[in-house]
Amino acid sequence: MEQSNLINLHYAYMTMVRHWHAQSEPYTGADALFTALDNGWDMDNVVTYKEFWQAGMRRIVVCYFTLRRDAEVLTMPVIYNPYVSRLIRTMHVETVRVENMESNRADVG
């Protein structure tokens, strides 16, 4: 991902610095994703997502961003919101539903 594109995404997130670690939180917000991108992490071109339904009526989507920096790789689960939508659209990444990936893997094996 080109760092110059970060400026175009949402300037309000630039004032918020948010650390996230998988052992402390099962998912995070877009502010932690922006902080990681601003700190030199690169985002893969494929973002997976999973839908969760609360009481059968309220849909929550978690997007799984694979980030890379030097030899480090991490998957950051981020709650979907308008910023995440804009990031995905602006960066032209492919989105793949997690259940679809799992069923495709089962078909291959």
pLDDT, tens digit, 9 for 90 and up, residues 20-51: 877 888 889 988 998 898 889 999 999 999 99
pLDDT at 23: 83
pLDDT at 55: 86
Burial (CB < 10 A; 0-12, 13-18, 19+), residue 49, is: buried
Encoded tokens for 33: 């994703």
Residue ranges covered by each domain of the chain: 3-108
**CA-closest candidate to residue 17, choices 5, 29, 34, 4:** 34
Say yes or no to pLDDT of 10 above 70.
no
| Span 49-100, pLDDT tens digits | 999 888 878 899 999 999 999 999 999 999 999 989 988 998 889 999 987 5
